[in-house]
Amino acid sequence: MPTSPQLPRSAPFAEDQIAALNSVFSVTTAEQRAWLSGFLAGMQAANAPQGVAASPAAPPARKVPLTILFGTESGNGEALAMQARKVAAKLGFAAKLVDMADITPTQAAEARNLLVIASTWGEGDPPQRAVDFHEALMADGAPSFEKTRFGVLALGDRAYAQFCEIGRQMDERLAALGGTRIADRVDCDLDYEAPAGTWIDAILGKLNAETTADEAVTDEGASIIHVDFARPVADGFTRAKPFQAEITAHVRLTGSRSTSDTHHLELSLEGSGIEYEPGDALGVVPHNDPALADAILGAAGLAGDTALRSSLVERLDITTLTRKQIEDFCQLTGARVPEAGWETGRQVIDLLDAAAQRLTGAQLTGLLRPLPPRYYSIASSRKSVGEEAHLLVAGLRYTSHGRDRAGVASIDMTARHRAGDRLNVFLRPNTHFRLPADPNRAVIMIGPGTGVAPFRGFLQEREAVGAAGKNWLVFGHRNYLHDFLYQLEWQDWLKDGRLNRLDVAFSRDQPAKRYVQHALWESRHDLYAWLKDGAALYVCGDMNAMAKDVHATLLRIIADQGNFDEAAAKAELDAIRRDGRYLRDVY
Ligand SMILES: Cc1cc2nc3c(=O)[nH]c(=O)nc-3n(C[C@H](O)[C@H](O)[C@H](O)COP(=O)(O)OP(=O)(O)OC[C@H]3O[C@@H](n4cnc5c(N)ncnc54)[C@H](O)[C@@H]3O)c2cc1C
Ligand SMILES: Cc1cc2nc3c(=O)[nH]c(=O)nc-3n(C[C@H](O)[C@H](O)[C@H](O)COP(=O)(O)O)c2cc1C
């Protein structure tokens, strides 16, 4: 039951201990309880008689090889893989981190011990860099994993119908291919840290306990590509402990007659030690709309509870509605369970209004997930702006089921914050979306809408370091007059030759819709020539409405210009991607 837990009288504690623990539990949030459970599991593992967490001071003399394979889009899986590697190293494993982009199932099947961390994107799809690995693993010709012991950690978001689908598929497939499961798969929602930490401790503990001396190797064994992550985040700010950055500028970029409401924010990072690179994003820890918090309190019969109100505004996800929450709510209140799919386009407030049930404060908070952060591409370069980070934020508003809805973070940042206010942020590095190491290499940047944000950072950086490589930007939005984000800056860069080419596609300026992929197709001859000359191509922005169409258009262009059939065009684009010259940051 999603209420605050109470220890039963039968718990192995004295009565005063039970009372003391219950008084603590009654004021904890779901997030705090999840943290505690991870903490206690870790403590338990560390004290286990099997020597689960062997003392870091006395690692085994010979090391057991371990492959930690991750498939990630926005870096959560990668960060967890790094965390797992740290724990594994302390336990004396020879652990390698491998991105699914850099390995085939045949290579992975060489691993004796394999931890898989996989997130799900799109609508039940693999992260883009894991597409090939996933496809090959699921295909008929997939190799046997009989030599391999494995465990899977799935990352996802319960708000999506295909929750943790890719982790689930990989887990089942590895078992079907003969692998031995070390531990049951764990499916993580957006508050993944505590369950993931517990999974890491538990699975490594089990593996450690079950590993025989014969399996140890002195060298690092397996012939698997080893990924090195050069730059761990050193500033210490996280979603749980963010930096309070002052907003020093807050400007609306779209015109008053625009259908979108996009703002440029400048944040001061002074004193934070946050050292971002172009391509990185900032995590923003938002607050909810206080009016929505009040409506929820009112609907649950809890109006006037000020402590609860601040939890709803600051810490809990009061908008997302998942099937599981509906089921928990109906079990708790006896309300009728609505038909499957009822939750689509609806939020917590719709459920409370429809059911008209009174809840206790603990029942309400027990139903809600922790408020997740949102990510925003950094639109600046430190070499150009110093201790600042610039963001480009589109305020999200829409109507569904007769209610006006507002995006939590984007409206918090654009409508409820002003210059002079502070915003809770932390750095989200994106080591896979970097400018070419060679400053002479040309870049093609495709970034419609807010997808253009990182490319402003790229150009600032290329200007600051005096990179000689050519720069081509492809931008798109709805109207030339109202939506041309950073227009003057691009034009200045065009004038001074920093930007060699700017192609635009404004979808609503003519009767037939024109998008960036149309601009790309029209420029196919030059685009192919740039690629042939070694240009790196970047795509940022909307995953579903844009990146898929751009990808399909790139394949068409390569087929058309290179005289390839479909398969050969795909192989060509794959080769460019493997060469690190087709990079996407899409959301
Ligand atoms: C790596 C990365 C970089 C990003 N960079 C940027 C950036 O530079 N600028 C930027 O503005 N955003 C960026 N985003 C997106 C950003 O993180 C947020 O997702 C976005 O601002 C919306 O968040 P929100 O809290 O305002 O909306 P939320 O409260 O999270 O609401 C979004 C949800 O509303 C629902 N929804 C949205 N539209 C509709 C509709 N028409 N009908 C029904 N339901 C709907 C969907 O369920 C959707 O998931 C980035 C995302 C990632 C992952
Ligand atoms: C555009 C988008 C689509 C997503 N689609 C799904 C999905 O279909 N199923 C799911 O369980 N999670 C989905 N998620 C949630 C991610 O899996 C989750 O944020 C995860 O922690 C990301 O891990 P990563 O950073 O390692 O990629 C989606 C997230 C975004 C932003």
3-state secondary structure 431-491: CCCCCCCCCCCCEEEECCHHHHHHHHHHHHHHHHHCCCCCEEEEEEECCHHHHCCCHHHHH
Closest ligand to C-alpha of residue 429 is: 1
CATH architecture of the domain covering 48-215 = 3-Layer(aba) Sandwich (3.40)
CA of 157 to the centre of ligand 2 (A): 6
Place of tokens 């991105």: 99
Q: Where in the chain is the domain with CATH 3.40.50.360?
A: 48-215
**Given the CA of residue 393, which atom of ligand 1 is nearest to it?**
11
Please, where in the chain does CATH 2.40.30.10 lie?
243-286+373-428
CA of 155 to the centre of ligand 2 (A): 7
| CA–CA distance, 134 with 104 (Å, rounded to integer) | 9
Helix, strand, or coil here: 85? helix
Name which CATH class applies to 443-586.
alpha beta
Written as six digits, the tokens of 127 are: 């992260």
* Residues carrying CATH 3.40.50.80, the chain: 443-586
* pLDDT, tens digit only, all 587 positions of the chain: 344 456 655 566 666 666 666 666 665 655 555 556 545 544 554 444 333 333 333 444 558 899 999 999 888 999 999 999 999 999 989 999 999 999 999 999 999 999 999 999 988 999 988 999 999 999 999 999 999 999 999 999 999 989 999 999 999 999 999 999 999 999 999 999 999 999 999 999 999 888 765 666 544 433 333 333 334 456 889 888 999 999 999 999 999 999 999 999 999 999 999 999 999 999 999 999 999 999 999 999 999 999 999 999 999 999 999 999 999 999 999 999 999 999 999 999 999 999 999 999 999 999 999 999 999 999 999 999 999 999 999 999 999 999 999 999 999 999 999 999 999 999 999 988 999 999 999 999 999 999 999 999 999 999 999 999 999 999 999 999 999 999 999 999 999 999 999 999 999 999 999 999 999 999 999 999 999 999 999 999 998 889 999 999 999 999 999 999 999 999 999 999 989 999 999 98
Best probe residue, ligand 2, of 68, 72, 99, 120 (max atoms within 8 Å of C-beta): 120
Closest ligand to 284 CA? 1
Which atom of ligand 2 is nearest to 74's Cα? Answer: 25
pLDDT of residue 46: 45
* Residue 88 token pair: 């594994």
- Distance between CA atoms of 266 and 276, rounded to whole angstroms? 14
- Return the ligand number nearest the Cα of 540: 1
Report the distance separating Cα 90 and Cα 66, nearest Å. 13
Which residues have any ligand 1 atom within 6 Å of their CB? 74, 281, 319, 345, 374-377, 392-394, 396, 398, 400, 407-411, 450, 453, 585, 587
d(CA 12, CA 9): 8
Give strand ranges (E) for 120-178.
149-155
Number of Cβ atoms within 10 Å of the Cβ of 16: 8
Beta bridge partners of 113: 149
Nearest ligand for residue 71 CA: 2
CATH code of 243-286+373-428, in short, is 2.40.30.10
Where do the DSSP E strands lie in 269-395?
281-285, 316-317, 369-370, 374-377, 388-394
Helices 323-333, 348-355: crossing angle, 10 deg rounding: 30
Of all protein residues, whose CA lies closest to atom 9 belonging to ligand 2?
163
- Residue whose CA is closest, atom 20 of ligand 1? 410
Residues 6 or more apart from 249 whose CB is under 8 A from it?
264, 265, 266, 419
> Hey, CA dihedral for 581, 118, 234, 87, is it positive or negative?
negative
Bridge pairing between strands 403-406 and 397-400: antiparallel
Instruction: With beta carbons less than 8 A apart as the criterion, state whether 116 and 86 touch.
Output: no
Q: Is 122 in the pocket of ligand 2 (CB under 6 A)?
A: yes
Q: Whose CA is nearest to atom 9 of ligand 1?
A: 393
Cα dihedral sign, 521-526-532-534? negative
* Distance (Å) from CA 444 to ligand 2 centroid: 27
Ordered alpha helix ranges (H), 10-62: 15-25, 30-47
